[in-house]
């Protein structure tokens, strides 16, 4: 019998990855608090579309009140794909249905492994970064990919243990995820995590506060240069915290910090690279926090730009652009101001 896999959170990332794993014959169950989404999946399967093609995939799905049925078939691998602010309750809910050797994989934005470990213990936690995957649960039962697959050119999934050793379960997850897109094991989970946070900090808050999609905010010089400034701050904080950062969108961290300081050659190189990246974007693509604003949902900005500023304060490194942007997004989120490009002028 194959491993029993559940996705706590079956929205954009969870629905897309879980749907593709089910398409390959894996025993997958999708769990989500969005009732219409789960009902649509129950009746019609999950509909996957976008840059990897279109598929209708029959897959098991459960409402939250149905999760108790898992006691009959304990879970081997539980992917937590919720927003960061939902991490604790999602972990607590699935913990009691884990098989004796079962474990939890955080496939989320931000850094949540420590919060999961506080509930299930460090030995039952694995981290997985989904980098530049570009997915959107745009309506009930449907998930669309808006970025081109990474394939051989860019590794989308990076799987690692909190202690840095490569274990059989990490290798198992890598093999499993390669059916969705490129995947690798990593001995540098924490550096990978912070590197992904840098990328998230560059676009999520800008999209949420301006209303621009990923392509438009890259093409507009004002928001493109704000992205570079945000990246520079986040990299500086991460390095002060002792993380060994990976390349950021294909460029070394030092190149980004140089560009953020306005060094002409570095700035020209980074901007050219960012603009070249728009060729892989569709007009429908926007970061998850921008999607949240469109859908009228709470964002996780305090776990992205807000986290950069908070962790920076802990080590005496200011991140004023990240802090200011997080504050603007909260105002948009609360309905105090409308999303528009003017909101980020001067940040």
Residue 282 binned pLDDT confidence (cut-offs 50, 70, 90): confident
Q: How far is the C-alpha of 171 from the C-alpha of 160, rounded, in Å?
A: 9
pLDDT of residue 266: 97
Q: What is the mean pLDDT of residues 110-125?
A: 98
Task: Tell me the helices (H) and strands (E) count for the chain, helix number first.
Answer: 13, 12
Short-list 129, 191, 196, CA closest to 164: 191
CATH class of 192-344: mainly alpha
CB 205 within 8 A of CB 226: no
Measured in degrees and rounded to the nearest 5, phi and psi for residue 89 equal: -70, -35
DSSP state of 219: H
Q: Quick check: 277 pLDDT over 80?
A: yes
> Which CATH number is correct for 4-187, 3.40.50.720, 1.20.140.10, 3.90.1300.10, 3.40.50.300?
3.40.50.720
Q: How far is the C-alpha of 249 from the C-alpha of 129, rounded, in Å?
A: 14
Tokens read off for 213: 């999609």
Tokens read off for 80: 């937590």
Residue 280 binned pLDDT confidence (cut-offs 50, 70, 90): confident
Burial (0-12, 13-18, 19+ Cβ within 10 Å), 227:
buried
Q: Quick check: 68 pLDDT over 90?
A: yes
Q: How far is the C-alpha of 347 from the C-alpha of 343, rounded, in Å?
A: 9
Q: How far is the C-alpha of 151 from the C-alpha of 183, rounded, in Å?
A: 9
pLDDT of residue 213: 95
Q: Quick check: 77 pLDDT over 80?
A: yes
Q: How far is the C-alpha of 97 from the C-alpha of 90, rounded, in Å?
A: 12
Q: Of the given ranges (64-78, 169-183, 244-258, 272-286), which has the lowest mean pLDDT?
A: 272-286
pTM score above 0.85: yes
| CA-based R_g, the chain, Å | 19
DSSP state of 3: P
CB atoms within 10 A of CB 327: 16
Tokens read off for 22: 């089910």
pLDDT of residue 247: 94
Alpha helices in 211-319 (DSSP H): 214-219, 221-240, 253-260, 264-277, 288-295, 305-314
> Where in the chain is CATH 3.40.50.720?
4-187
> Where in the chain is CATH 1.10.1040.10?
192-344
């Amino acid at each position: 019998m194959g491993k029993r896999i559940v996705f706590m959170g079956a929205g954009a990332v969870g629905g897309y990855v879980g749907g593709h794993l089910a398409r390959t014959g894996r025993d997958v169950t999708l769990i989500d608090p969005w009732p219409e989404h789960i009902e649509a999946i129950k009746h019609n399967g999950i509909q996957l579309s976008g840059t990897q093609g279109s598929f209708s995939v029959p897959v098991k799905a459960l409402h939250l009140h149905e999760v108790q049925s898992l006691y009959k078939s304990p879970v081997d691998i539980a992917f937590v794909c919720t927003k960061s602010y939902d991490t604790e309750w999602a972990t607590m809910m699935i913990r009691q249905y884990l098989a004796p050797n079962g474990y939890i994989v955080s496939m989320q934005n931000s850094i949540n492994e420590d919060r999961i470990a506080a509930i299930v213990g460090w030995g039952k936690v694995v981290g997985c970064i989904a980098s530049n995957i570009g997915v959107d649960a745009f309506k009930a039962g449907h998930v669309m990919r808006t970025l081109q697959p990474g394939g051989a050119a860019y590794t989308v999934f990076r799987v690692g243990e909190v202690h840095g050793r490569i274990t059989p379960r990490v290798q198992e997850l890598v093999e499993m995820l390669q059916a969705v897109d490129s995947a690798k094991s990593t001995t540098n989970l924490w550096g990978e995590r912070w590197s992904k946070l840098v990328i998230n900090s560059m676009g999520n808050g800008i999209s949420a506060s301006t209303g621009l999609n990923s392509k438009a905010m890259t093409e507009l010089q004002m928001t493109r240069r704000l992205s570079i400034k945000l990246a520079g701050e986040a990299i500086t904080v991460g390095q002060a915290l002792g993380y060994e950062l990976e390349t950021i969108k294909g460029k070394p961290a030092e190149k980004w910090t140089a560009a953020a300081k306005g060094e002409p050659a570095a700035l020209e190189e980074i901007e050219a690279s960012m603009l070249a990246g728009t060729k892989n974007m569709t007009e429908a693509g926007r970061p998850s926090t921008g999607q949240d604003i469109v859908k009228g949902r709470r964002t996780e900005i305090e776990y992205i730009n807000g986290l950069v500023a908070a962790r920076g304060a802990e080590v005496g490194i200011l991140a004023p652009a990240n802090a200011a942007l997080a504050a603007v997004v909260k105002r948009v989120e609360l309905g105090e101001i409308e999303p528009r490009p003017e909101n980020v002028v001067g940040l």
